[in-house]
Amino acid sequence: MTDAATAAFVRAIPKAELHVHIEGTIEPEHAFALAERNAVTLPWATAEALKDAYRFDDLQSFLDVYYQVTAVLTTVADFADIVTAYFDRAAAQGVRHVELFFDPQSHTGRGVPMSVVMDGLWSAVSRSVETHGLTSSLILCFLRDLGAEAAAETLREAEPYLDRIVGVGLDSAEAGHPPAAFHDVFAAAALFGLRRVAHAGEEGPPAYVVEALDALGAERIDHGVRALEDPALVARLAEERVPLTVCPLSNVRLRGVDSIAQHPLGRMLDAGLLVSVNSDDPAYFGGYVGDNMIALHDDPRYDLATLRVLAENSFRSAFLDDDTRTALVGEVHRHFERGVQGA
């Protein structure tokens, strides 16, 4: 196990978080506080009972819990509060830049206006440098299991707020919902100048990764671990330097792999892929991004030099201008120089 001093060093490595769902950062105690504030009844009696529900068999079993918890979010203040709480934890774990996913359909579908979602999130995101010393932006994700028509309607609803959104993504239940169905809405997003990312190759086959690249114009693939099953795809991802936002603790909790020791991240690095480490839904999966890196470091394959590459990759994969990217990679270098000097 990583000793306390090394764990503190790893947790503080400057990094970007590019794959985190804000609705997946609601800790159980916070969920119950919001439920009480908004007179919402959760299907669990206590926060401990909710934690006991975090025994997932697959992605869908997680989503069943996840969407029930999102019901506690009803006001502008609620959305602002969960972003602030996430930033508190992220800043303490070395995050210097975050591109935050949100799922408006999980709120508008139960009667919460898009304006409430956007105003709440933006009130915290717009002040992230001032309040937490980190830069942040928003990526609107479409729920793939609700279909392409619903996604197009969500993009129309979001049009008044496009100055607050850096990009669009595709998430939720992957199996049986191929990316190509969302070609038109992603093309429309591209015309608005939005960046495009997509969940693919988590539970879905490598072909979904190919579709995300070719049909959606995805500039970054979220998860992508099953890409390793297709050597031609691996070669393409390496040659084109397509970023892959990998979430180790999530993959373990959702039974995609049995343990960190079995996780394919090491093989992805060996194949020359541009991978970074992220937390996905940290309240549910056992840790934030720094915790993911510590879990990796507990495995001998992931020494400090490897963690340094992963941190640098996170900034190289982010939607940042070149000067900002260079400055943040420089922060990683200085962190490791200080660590060596203090050893």
Residues 187-233 pLDDT 10s:
999 999 999 999 999 999 999 999 999 999 999 999 999 999 999 99
pLDDT at 339: 82
What value does the mean pLDDT of the chain take?
A: 96
Which pLDDT tens digit goes with each residue over 149-193? 999 999 999 999 999 999 999 999 999 999 999 999 999 999 999
Count CA atoms closer than 13 A to 25's CA, side-chain side. 27
**Does the structure show a pLDDT above 80 at 287?**
yes
- pLDDT digit string, tens, across residues 28-55: 999 999 999 999 999 999 999 999 999 9
Establish whether 132 is an annotated binding residue: no
Please compute the mean of the pLDDT values over residues 258-266 and round it to a whole number. 97
21 is in an annotated binding site: yes
Nearest-angstrom CA–CA distance, 157 and 210: 29
Q: Is 3 annotated as a binding residue?
A: no
Which tens digit of pLDDT belongs to each residue from 297-322? 999 999 999 999 999 999 999 999 99
199 annotated as ligand-binding: yes
SS3 of residue 276 by DSSP:
strand
What's the first-to-final CA gap in the chain, in angstroms?
A: 18
Summarize pLDDT for 41-91 with one digit per residue, the tens: 999 999 999 999 999 989 999 999 999 999 999 999 999 999 999 999 999
Mean pLDDT over 96-102 rounds to: 98
Boundaries of every domain in the chain: 4-335
Per-residue confidence (pLDDT) for residue 1, from 0 to 100 = 76
Query: Is 130 noted as a catalytic residue in this protein?
Result: no
**Which residue out of 17, 157, 202, 312 is catalytically annotated?**
202
pLDDT at 266 over 80: yes
Q: Could you give the 3-state DSSP secondary structure of residue 168? A: strand
pTM over 0.75: yes
Do 9 and 342 contact (CB within 8 A), yes or no? no
In 3-state terms, what secondary structure has residue 154?
Answer: helix
When the candidates are 3.20.20.140, 2.30.42.10, 3.40.50.720, 3.40.50.12160, the CATH number that belongs to 4-335 is 3.20.20.140
